[in-house]
Structure 1
Amino acid sequence: MEERTFFQCVIAARDGRRCFYCARNFKPRPMRRKTLDHYIPHRVWPGWEVANLVLACERCNLAKGDALPWPLVWLLLAVFRQDEWELIA
């Protein structure tokens, strides 16, 4: 089995057979142009760990591009602000 196909099967078993971003189901044939997407962009977290991979339809993957996901940005800002307040106090 090709490595990409293996990752897609593992992630589909974990998350279901739908796009991570828009939650639309992939059609059984030809599976709605699904792609593997690095949730945290590859340039920030290089590698192919399953924890950082999600299935996305081609449209959502292209729309996200190389951006950090907003939930991650909010988490980073919350941690940064908390640390900043501890330094001031």
Structure 2
Amino acid sequence: MSRPDIDPELRAYFQCELKARHGARCFYCRRNFKKRPMRRKTLDHYIPHWIWPGWQVDNLVLACEGCNLAKGGMLPWPLVWLLLAAFPRDGWELAA
């Protein structure tokens, strides 16, 4: 979930930028925010805040509260797939 320590004006700016970029919908489940209460709309760090700290618009997406909580501090699966495809897996072992 997004960090609560962001200035309300900056939050509003990011929401406008992200709405213009992705539309007024959750980045993950694609549900439209026009049909949901505004309090359910959150800013999510696409790459988790613990990996990419800060408030750069390039790493933010609009997410509904449920999707943001479900994702938590994990990397999104599309990013995991890209990383796995980019690095050879020879010699990797699965942990039990």
The answer, yes or no, to whether TM exceeds 0.5 is yes
**TM-score relative to the length of structure 1:** 0.84
Percent identity, please.
73
- Cα deviations by residue, 1:7-26 (Å, 9 ceiling, x for unpaired): 01110011000000000000
- Cα deviations by residue, 1:16-53 (Å, 9 ceiling, x for unpaired): 00000000000267336100000000101111111110
**TM-score relative to the length of structure 2:** 0.78
> Quick one: distance in 2 between partners of 1:28 and 1:18?
9
**Which residue in 2 is equivalent to 1:87?**
none
In the alignment, residue 3 of structure 1 is paired with which amino acid? Answer: L
**Which residue in 2 is equivalent to 1:65?**
72
Give 1:67 deviation, angstroms: 0.4
**How many residues end up aligned between the 2 structures?**
83
Verify the 8 A CA contact 1:34 1:57 in the aligned structure 2: yes
**Which residue in 1 is equivalent to 2:14?**
7
Which structure's residues are more often helix, by fraction?
Answer: 1
Matched position secondary structure for 1:81? coil
Correspondent of 1:40 among 47, 58, 83: 47
Matched position secondary structure for 2:43? strand
**Which residue in 2 is equivalent to 1:77?**
84
Structure 2, unmatched stretches of 5+, are: 1-7, 91-96
**Which residue in 1 is equivalent to 2:27?**
20
Q: CA RMSD in A?
A: 1.9
